[in-house]
Structure 1
């Protein structure tokens, strides 16, 4: 079980391993790669959001909203969308494609393949969804329209949270970072389910059925890609990309949010366990190739562009900001993210380790877990998307929700930094 405050001495080699202790060196190497990628992506994400807020509240705000609301695309195919909608439905599908790849990897060769190792962070993720939803619902119960946003504070932004962790917690135990990544991956899986089943008001059956055809073709081609394409991905794009776009377009036409197509396509890509776990193999699998090629597009372009067009909220001066801060939607989201997330994560972790035989790694302390739980309150990318799905882009509740998401994410990051930075110094001193 985790101890309380002081970092424990490093366990001897013969000690029984705790949760996440196995394959630590391999996971640490992979974690370092993710941190390097996501740190840059998180910084770019924050810059894009700040530029959007400043522009939306400047004398040139009209140009920002005109750009966001400019529509283009083939109307005959139901794709005459605004720039903001293209960012949310199109570009964000790339982000969810990578989420699908990561989920598949975790289920096949990562921490989620063993229930005994995954039970604590999985339970913590569910607790971090349920408690914020209950807090938001309780605060907004009197307004049926406002309560539609109950899912807004349930998601954790992986890029933002991992970026903060990488900046302030370079010496924290690897097991703690793996806990955060596993929790965030499961959190995204829950968010995907909510988007697919809660925010789909009407389904067109024909496009959804037709989407099965290109999806099946995509599955077949990706499973047989070595035989057809070898290890040279140049030919892949001419065949796989049009098939993937067809899946996306048909799912969009069906009424299901198009980002779900990204997840399905990510899940369809094969993961070879021996390669994913560092074992012998014939080279990188298609999952690794796709992640290597699409990760920079997602973190450096797709997600920042979405944040740019989603985070731009006109406060209307100090009076407008005060009005937004007094809204039950704003109060509910801030309370749910800043308080509900860490309470849900910590309480569920404590309960799970008490009623099951699962044990956290000996290097993890409760104060470290508190810092990570506070990072769970950084709900940015998916929270902004759910706000738009709940209330409609540009509505009063949507603006209030986005103000709350921005404030809560900054506050959660600040509180997590206040907890983890001193802990990082302690571990640094201990390792010296």
Structure 2
């Protein structure tokens, strides 16, 4: 989950005294909603746990996590060790977040269209089945270890997407969509495996009570209760019933997620008109010369608007946004710190390296995952049940499949449930950490090499996560454009540059130069220089030469991530010109610069409209008309 780029005007909402605080707060929010940084924090926690586990401090480390905490009421007490609180309570919150993400995908996301979702879903099925086969090849005849077949089936969505995010726009956005959807489908399968195969003997009484609580949650949903607090209170009761039933308590988090409403209690069509009226009232009631605290009508209007606006966001979305930083920067690092402690002290390493559990887990994740994902994906595509995502080839699919072998959090979680013997748990963790590290490195390097190869061939991609509301490419338009480019005689790049620079419409020039260079085979450097010169000319005319350094940094310093990268792909999409404009102003966060592009775009649209009715801009200029009439 990434934060979207904020509105460029919002920075002026705050008075000077608090702008610094708002900037720091914004940076904190951006940090805590970054999948890359979340993966880095979890990795750091795992490394710390590994280091401590192999030092004399390990005994005290274990003693701390096994310290009991809780409540005592006379002779009755309710206590639980810190490790169990993390594994049973905190991880239920993690599964609540997973459930909310799964519900989103099933409701409005990638899993709503079954044909579109079939490729990652079947990839996830293959990515679960093949590791099980490989694990059982090594451990089928080992009764104490065969129950661990579920360990290599899970993919850690945070780590996998965090590694992919490091590549930025060097890979097509379709790769991220495929991997994230596959990870969600993988999570659904993992949840079912945990619920069915890794619980204790269920207690009918507590299962019945859990069912009653779940039915109560469903009734609350049907009664359109949108407040979160009642759901969270009932969620605690549901967790306790599931915990006592023998089924692993984390399943309660998933069940609760599906009961929380994902709709808005506000009629959005009416809200738009109502909020506009309230804003008008606020403007009329505002008195600049009177202190805010004394403006009763203004405060009353703004409070009314605030209370209703808060209810526009669905409860499920509000909860997901609140949970994300706590889960990925608190709960999961704590889980890694508690469970990634593989100690080699006093262990016969010779026996470890001949234990089939190690190789079942290691090979299951490192080889079983990518083989299963690729095999099922290939079958689905070849049978024409689904197609590869836009701009994604089989090399990209292989890179994503390798990243699917990053098990880490989910795999360690299953290992703790699957094994009773501490030695088997430690060996399984060693296999998980080794496979996750190797899969992460191999997947990253493979996709990086593929991106460099594509870049050398003159193909650039614009990642979906770097554009807002970019529509799916019109494939027919792309094909027709390529056919035309193959048949027309292309003028020289320099000739097209000179033609473009003779125009006055800056936005049209940028688009034309980008199309010339990236569709016509021109030099990237020539195009970049021409765009820079043209934009600087306009900035000088506007008296905004203070933007020179920001513009130069965008076009020259950020060579690998600048706005011209991916221009070809953008221009051949519906809404591509708007996306290109956003890309050009993404880093240069200045209202004047953005307004400049807005104005030139309006001029372009006006000129196109005038051309359609046979008029020139001079004919439509009121000043020109006045002069002629006089």
Aligned-partner SS, 1:406: helix
**1:176 matched to which residue of 2?**
175
Residues of 2 paired with 1:35 and 1:349: CA distance? 34
Q: CA contact under 8 A between 1:248 and 1:258: conserved in structure 2?
A: yes
Matched, 1:266 2:227: no
**1:57 matched to which residue of 2?**
54
**2:43 matched to which residue of 1?**
46
Residues of 2 paired with 1:357 and 1:242: CA distance? 44
Residues of 2 paired with 1:427 and 1:45: CA distance? 32
Q: CA deviation at 1:423?
A: 2.4
The equivalences for 1:255-404 within 5 A come to 255-272=246-263, 283-316=312-345, 320-392=348-420, 395-404=422-431
Q: Which has the higher contact order (CA 8 A, sep 6+)?
A: 1
The equivalences for 1:1-400 within 5 A come to 36-73=33-70, 80-222=79-221, 224=223, 229=227, 236-237=228-229, 239-272=230-263, 283-316=312-345, 320-392=348-420, 395-400=422-427
> Which deviates the most, 52-61 or 189-198?
52-61
Q: CA contact under 8 A between 1:223 and 1:269: conserved in structure 2?
A: no
Residues of 2 paired with 1:28 and 1:381: CA distance? 23
Q: CA contact under 8 A between 1:156 and 1:380: conserved in structure 2?
A: yes
Q: CA contact under 8 A between 2:32 and 2:38: conserved in structure 1?
A: no
**2:476 matched to which residue of 1?**
none
Aligned-partner SS, 1:80: strand
Q: CA deviation at 1:214?
A: 3.1
User: Which of the residues 415, 418, 423 maps onto 2:445?
Assistant: 418
Q: TM-score, normalised by structure 1?
A: 0.84
Q: CA contact under 8 A between 1:96 and 1:260: conserved in structure 2?
A: yes
Residues 375-403 of structure 1 show CA distances to partners (whole Å, capped at 9, x for unaligned) of: 000001111011011113x6110110001
Evaluate the alpha carbon distance shift between residue 121 and residue 108 of structure 1 in structure 2; reply closer, same or farther with a 3 A threshold.
same
Matched, 1:407 2:434: yes
Residues of 2 paired with 1:36 and 1:170: CA distance? 18
Q: CA deviation at 1:316?
A: 1.7
Q: CA contact under 8 A between 2:134 and 2:368: conserved in structure 1?
A: yes
The runs of at least 4 consecutive aligned structure 1 residues that moved more than 6 Å come to 27-30, 75-78
Which structure is larger by alpha-carbon Rg, 1 or 2?
2
Evaluate the alpha carbon distance shift between residue 272 and residue 322 of structure 1 in structure 2; reply closer, same or farther with a 3 A threshold.
farther
**2:493 matched to which residue of 1?**
none
Evaluate the alpha carbon distance shift between residue 190 and residue 350 of structure 1 in structure 2; reply closer, same or farther with a 3 A threshold.
same
Count of aligned residue pairs for this structure pair:
390
Q: CA contact under 8 A between 2:170 and 2:448: conserved in structure 1?
A: no
Evaluate the alpha carbon distance shift between residue 243 and residue 325 of structure 1 in structure 2; reply closer, same or farther with a 3 A threshold.
same
Q: CA contact under 8 A between 1:122 and 1:183: conserved in structure 2?
A: yes
Q: CA contact under 8 A between 1:28 and 1:174: conserved in structure 2?
A: no
Residues of 2 paired with 1:77 and 1:183: CA distance? 46
Q: CA deviation at 1:326?
A: 2.5
Q: TM-score, normalised by structure 2?
A: 0.58
Evaluate the alpha carbon distance shift between residue 268 and residue 427 of structure 1 in structure 2; reply closer, same or farther with a 3 A threshold.
farther
Q: CA deviation at 1:254?
A: 0.5
Evaluate the alpha carbon distance shift between residue 197 and residue 357 of structure 1 in structure 2; reply closer, same or farther with a 3 A threshold.
closer
Q: Unaligned stretches of 5+ in structure 1? A: 1-26, 230-235
Q: CA contact under 8 A between 2:402 and 2:439: conserved in structure 1?
A: yes
Residues of 2 paired with 1:274 and 1:321: CA distance? 60
Aligned-partner SS, 1:73: strand
Q: CA deviation at 1:323?
A: 3.3
Residues of 1 paired with 2:375 and 2:394: CA distance? 11
Evaluate the alpha carbon distance shift between residue 360 and residue 36 of structure 1 in structure 2; reply closer, same or farther with a 3 A threshold.
farther
Residues 354-377 of structure 1 show CA distances to partners (whole Å, capped at 9, x for unaligned) of: 123311124011111111000000
Q: CA deviation at 1:53?
A: 0.9
Q: CA contact under 8 A between 1:169 and 1:424: conserved in structure 2?
A: no
Q: CA contact under 8 A between 2:209 and 2:241: conserved in structure 1?
A: yes
Q: CA contact under 8 A between 2:33 and 2:325: conserved in structure 1?
A: no
Residues of 2 paired with 1:169 and 1:131: CA distance? 30
Aligned-residue RMSD, C-alpha:
2.7
Residues of 2 paired with 1:190 and 1:34: CA distance? 30
Aligned-partner SS, 1:361: coil
Q: CA contact under 8 A between 1:109 and 1:273: conserved in structure 2?
A: no
Evaluate the alpha carbon distance shift between residue 314 and residue 87 of structure 1 in structure 2; reply closer, same or farther with a 3 A threshold.
same
Residues of 2 paired with 1:104 and 1:385: CA distance? 22
Q: CA deviation at 1:160?
A: 0.7
> Which deviates the most, 167-176 or 107-116?
167-176
Evaluate the alpha carbon distance shift between residue 259 and residue 194 of structure 1 in structure 2; reply closer, same or farther with a 3 A threshold.
same
Q: CA contact under 8 A between 2:264 and 2:314: conserved in structure 1?
A: no
Residues of 1 paired with 2:438 and 2:453: CA distance? 23
